Chains A and B, each alone.
Chain A
Amino acid sequence: MVLKKRASAVLAAVILAATGTAAFATENLSFVSWGGTTQDAQKQAWAEPFSEASGIRVVQDGPTDYGKLKAMVESGNVQWDVVDVEADFALRAAAEGLLEPLDFNVIQRDKIDPRFVSDHGVGSFYFSFVLGYNQGKLGGNAPQDWTALFDTTKYPGKRALYKWPSPGVLELALLADGVPADKLYPLDLDRAFKKLDTIKQDIVWWGGGAQSQQLLASGEASLGQFWNGRVYALQQDGAPVGVTWKQNLVMADFLVIPKGAKNKDAAMKFLANASSAKGQAEFANLTAYAPVNVDSVSQLKGDLAPNLPTAYAKDQITLDYAYWAKNGQAIAARWNEWLVK
């Protein structure tokens, strides 16, 4: 019995020593994103070249879970070093003290579009909510702008909209109701919900990118609000879908470092690399999501460029993440109330 105990103690010590040295041998960094093709592209465009250049191993993890991030920071056991989050969450988490401030001696702030950088986060990529439609369902009758969503006689069929109370749906309802783009905020919730009431029975809600593609490609929905990259992917696959860029709504993902991250310095270097002109251009070329670095545009593939939000800059309306970071919760309460009514 005694011998057994001693043996297991020795074994434990050996294991500890082994893992200890392993941790010292190479520096590790955990990168967390949403999975799927986006994270594959992030791995290919950022993580692999970064590991090669710096010797820091990047461990992929995910999907992003805000609840988990908060739990890690609160318990002081932070396993994640770089996390891809939505822009409004990045601002909100910073306000709640969940994030490390970024070191702009390492990260080149002046090269990044000011819409997509804050003290605690740097843009991962940006994308647009665009009006996508199924050509088979609508015939040659191509919708022009968000008002089409609310015109059920001219454009029959279901409308696919993003189901979470986050920037997008309320804004497009207000735009369709005639609110000028520069007068959107603060959001007139009464007016937005009243407008949405007119098509409530015709909405199918999607919760994720794959689901949205399924709805559009199958014709389950004739038209709707989609992430531009997803519509582009459908077009690449030969699905009969069209897209309208008028008043495309710009939203972004940010890369952030949770407070107390174990490999903070390596994480800063990773962010510097990911937000560099090259890193951003390579990611954009793989995904059709737009680069946040202003120098990247010249490095985009020629056939891809017209399919990126960067090509429709003058039709863009940037969603106000700061407003949502502050009011998101109150809007969510109203949103749920309206939904289940």
Chain B
Amino acid sequence: MAGQVKMAAIPPGSPANAGGGAARASAGSDSKAAPMKRDNQTALRWRGARNLIPALLFLSLFFLAPLIGLLLRGVLEPTPGLGNYEQLFANSAYARVLFNTFAVGGLVTLISLLLGFPLAWVITLVPRGWGRWLLSIVLLSMWTSLLARTYSWLVLLQATGVINKTLMALGIIDQPLEMVHNLTGVVIGMSYIMIPFIVLPLQATMAAIDPMVLQAGSICGASPWTNFFRVFLPLCRPGLFSGGLMVFVMSLGYYVTPALLGGAQNMMLPEFIVQQVQSFLNWGLASAAAALLIAITLALFYVYLKLQPESPVASSTAR
């Protein structure tokens, strides 16, 4: 792989390409020069490292240390051992809570992506002034109190709420739709809250795509559909990836919205943890559940780092 890259880096038609020997020689000198350059780069990169110390200290003191303390409780309370984890996996109710957490997270991510993508696209396409207005609306909704927004959804969605009353007055339905205190309510409320987190990274990615690339596609005979699926969508991948992952991970830890808009049947992991910590002082089990949530998040993040495509946009601008 590395060899290929190097070969490709040699401009075609250069003398190095004429003979294998010369090519090898140049490759050799290249590899000798590289470490020195890398050393320099490393030194440069770490020059400001001392400035990190306060932040690192702060984080380790106020974030890492309590976190480790918490995780230890999972294996120490009430008796040392893995009893809490055993309980977490053996009890079908807790497994169900885990499943709910992922199902809701996945569903919310999917819907936010489906709704956020066109929105981000429109913001990129419309004239700049309009785009800025649209973006402000998205941001404004994000800055409004989460609790207020969640309660607003409750008012809108409930059986005696605005939406049901309107639909019934119009004669579209004769029984109020059950849109809240169940999975539907949770997914609607959470997707609404998450859409900005999709739109922002996606819009940034889309704005960076050179329109010439799309133009080139259509000049080469691609239909709009082909152009969208084979040129535009792949170029959006970094934004989709980072936005989607962020939303998914945030959904896993969401508490307020599911607690207010959900029924008790859709209990998610955060609510379970709160219940164990606050009502039952069962900190061992709670910290085992928290550890699980952290482990899953870290695993997802690792997958993300591995899978994230080298941003084609960034490399193209670098060139």
- The answer to whether the Cβ of B265 comes within 8 Å of any Cβ in the partner chain is yes
A96-B281, A337-B92 are contacts. A204–B267 as well, Cβ < 8 Å? no
19 contacts between A and B (CB under 8 A): A66-B281, A70-B281, A163-B264, A203-B264, A204-B181, A207-B260, A211-B260, A220-B158, A329-B280, A332-B280, A333-B91, A336-B94, A336-B97, A336-B267, A336-B272, A336-B275, A339-B93, A339-B265, A341-B96
Residue of B nearest to A89 (CB): B279
**How many residues of A are counted as interface, with CB atoms below 8 angstroms from the partner's CB atoms?**
30
Q: Which residues does chain A contribute within 8 Å of B83, judged by CB atoms? A: none
Q: Which of A210-225 contact B (CB under 8 A)?
A: 211, 214, 218-220
Contact residues, B235-255 vs A (CB, 8 A): none
Query: Is A220 in contact with B159, judged by CB distance below 8 angstroms?
Result: yes
Assess whether B279 is in contact with A166, with CB atoms less than 8 Å apart: yes
B100 CB–A CB distance under 8 Å: yes
Bound-state Cα–Cα, A337 to B97, Å: 9
B53 nearest CB across to chain A (Å): 19
**Interface band, chain B:** 20 to 34
Identify the closest chain A residue to B267 (Cβ). Answer: A340
Task: Tell me, in angstroms, the Cα distance from A218 to B157 when the chains sit together.
Answer: 12
**Which residues on B are within 8 Å of A, measured CB to CB?**
91-94, 96-97, 100, 154, 158-160, 181, 259-260, 263-267, 272, 275, 277-283
For A92, A158, A214, A220, which residue has the most chain B Cβ atoms within 10 angstroms?
A220
Say what secondary structure dominates the interface of chain B.
helix
The interface residues of chain A lying within 8 Å CB-to-CB of B272 are: 336
Does A240 sit within 8 A of B, measured CB to CB?
no
**Contact between B281 and A205 (Cβ–Cβ < 8 Å)?**
no
Q: Is the Cβ of B97 less than 8 Å from the Cβ of A340?
A: yes
CA distance A218 to B96 in the complex (A): 32
Which residues of B have CB within 8 Å of A204? 181, 263
Contact with B along A143-173 (1 / 0, CB 8 A): 0000000000000001000011110000000
Complex-state Cα separation, A163 to B263, whole angstroms: 9
Q: Is the CB of B280 within 8 A of A328?
A: yes
In the complex, chain A residues whose CB is within 8 Å of the CB of B279: 66, 164-166, 332
Smallest beta-carbon distance A16→chain B, Å: 22
Return the chain B residue nearest A160 by Cβ. B181
Flag if B259 contacts A207 (CB, 8 Å).
Answer: yes
A140 at the interface (CB under 8 A from B): no
Bound Cα distance from A339 to B182, whole angstroms = 13
The listed residue (A67, A70, A218, A336) touching B93 by CB distance below 8 A is A336
How far, in whole Å, are A224 and B260 apart by their CA atoms in the complex?
A: 18
B93 nearest in chain A by CB position: A337
Minimum distance in angstroms from A293 CB to a CB of chain B: 28
